[in-house]
Amino acid sequence: MTAMMTISGDLIAYVRSAFIRGLDYAITSDTVRQGINAYTPIEAYPAYITAVASVEAFLNEQLLSPIAQAIYPKSCLWGIHNRIDNLSIQTKTILVPQLLFGRSLDNSTQPAQDFGLLVRVRDDLVHYKMKQKAPKYLADLSQRRIALTSEQVHSGGQDYAWPHKLSSTEGIRWAHNTACKVVHKVVECIPEPHKDVLGSLATNFQEIREEDVQALWMSHDAAANP
């Protein structure tokens, strides 16, 4: 019998390693920085995409698995199982727990709202069409110090293109942490007797704390300015 393999943990680990690589670049290079946020040239784009993929992989591996079907054989979810993949990941994240457990994420609150925003970022990068006009959500991400602001990113007095503003270390950390929060919110929906089984892979989804990043930058700044 072939052993079953999961990949959600590998996907979120990639996002975490992308953050570490981006931070290392920012610390060792002369790059744009504001506070703990800094420009990193190549790590952010795949990180946004992979963060969304990690959530979908988690749902497939845990809640749409043969084990879930064995525990909840009477759920109406299995009647539409073959159609689930045609749904958007946002709909899937809300619908699957609701059909299985009778409870789900609230789409009007966090972390569902940030996840919806992350999916929009993912979509704009996957379907990038070189449009000069920035997406409306960029202003919100800049205000939250997730994306770089026009004041932060400039060259010769000219503003960078909007994708460069998303190429930030805090953007990667936000994508990583949003995926982690969504996964753990999904696990909260699982009835207690089955949490350990159907939520076991959530242990791979641990947030990167802001205070740890602040401490790293403080250590760097202290060493650079003794």
Q: Closest by alpha carbon to 95, among 61, 49, 64? A: 64
The two three-digit tokens of residue 37, written as one number:
């946020």
Q: Which residues pair with 33 in a beta bridge?
A: 38
Q: Residue 62's pLDDT is what?
A: 98
Distance CA 103, CA 188 (A): 9
Q: Residue 151's pLDDT is what?
A: 64
**What is Dmax (Cα atoms) for the chain?**
66
Residue pLDDT tens, the chain, 226 long: 345 799 999 999 999 999 999 999 999 998 989 899 999 999 999 999 999 999 999 999 999 999 999 999 999 999 998 899 899 999 999 999 999 999 999 999 999 999 999 999 999 999 999 888 899 999 999 999 999 987 644 444 456 789 999 999 999 999 999 999 999 999 999 999 999 999 999 999 999 999 999 999 999 888 888 7
Q: Residue 132's pLDDT is what?
A: 81
Q: Residue 155's pLDDT is what?
A: 44
Q: Closest by alpha carbon to 63, among 152, 188, 211, 151? A: 188
Are 155 and 161 in contact, with CB atoms under 8 Å apart?
A: no
Distance CA 126, CA 62 (A): 26
Give buried/exposed letters for 105-143 (b at 16+ CB in 10 A, else e).
beeeeebbebbbbbbebbebeeeeeeeeebbeebeebbe
- Sign of the Cα pseudo-torsion (153, 159, 160, 162, in order): positive
Rg, C-alpha atoms of the chain: 19
Average pLDDT score, the chain: 93
Angstrom distances, CA of residue 204 to CA of 8, 65, 108, 177: 8, 18, 26, 12
What are the sequence ranges of the domains in the chain? 8-209
3-state secondary structure of 212: helix
pLDDT tens readout for residues 13-52: 999 999 999 999 999 998 989 899 999 999 999 999 999 9
State pTM to two decimals.
Answer: 0.94
Q: Residue 1's pLDDT is what?
A: 39
